[in-house]
Amino acid sequence: MAGVELSELSGVSFPDMRRNVVSAVRALADEEYQHRVWVGRIYPQEGFYDDLSVNLNILYDDTLVLDDPPSALGTVLTSEAEVAAMVELASAVDDLLRREGNDKTDAEYVASPLWGAVLRSASTALVILSRTG
């Protein structure tokens, strides 16, 4: 994956899963990307697909990084700072889903007044994920 440095992958048991986590967090942190790809469906290449659901599935179901951040330490996350950042991101996403429900469109989620907390916590998490490892 472009943008993930080798140093970000050291110290984890599942580097490919970590790449997916970093990619999903990057998508959650990039408001312009969300509007272009998730809402506008303007994809960078043929055969590409991405939306909020794909990224949440990676972070909750595939890697458990947001479902149980401490359990991802050593497997996908490299430090307590990363765990703390994921706890904050999980809190923001959980609050959004609790208040907005699970059946909104991506456009409705990104228009929610709670989306700003998701953007901020994802941006913070991305910075931490990019500097540790």
Q: Which residues contact 70 (CB under 8 A, 6 or more apart)?
A: 83
Q: What does the alpha-carbon distance between residue 38 and residue 34 come to, in Å, rounded to a whole number?
A: 5
Q: Which residues pair with 77 in a beta bridge?
A: 73
pLDDT at residue number 8: 44
Residues 128, 69: contact at Cβ < 8 Å?
no
Residues 43, 78: contact at Cβ < 8 Å?
no
**Both tokens of residue 76?**
């996908």
Instruction: Please check the confidence at residue 11 and state whether its pLDDT lies above 90.
Output: no
pLDDT at residue number 88: 98
* Residue boundaries of the structural domains of the chain: 6-131
Query: Mean pLDDT in the chain?
Result: 91
pLDDT tens for each residue of 51-65: 999 999 999 999 999
Rounded average pLDDT over 98-108: 96
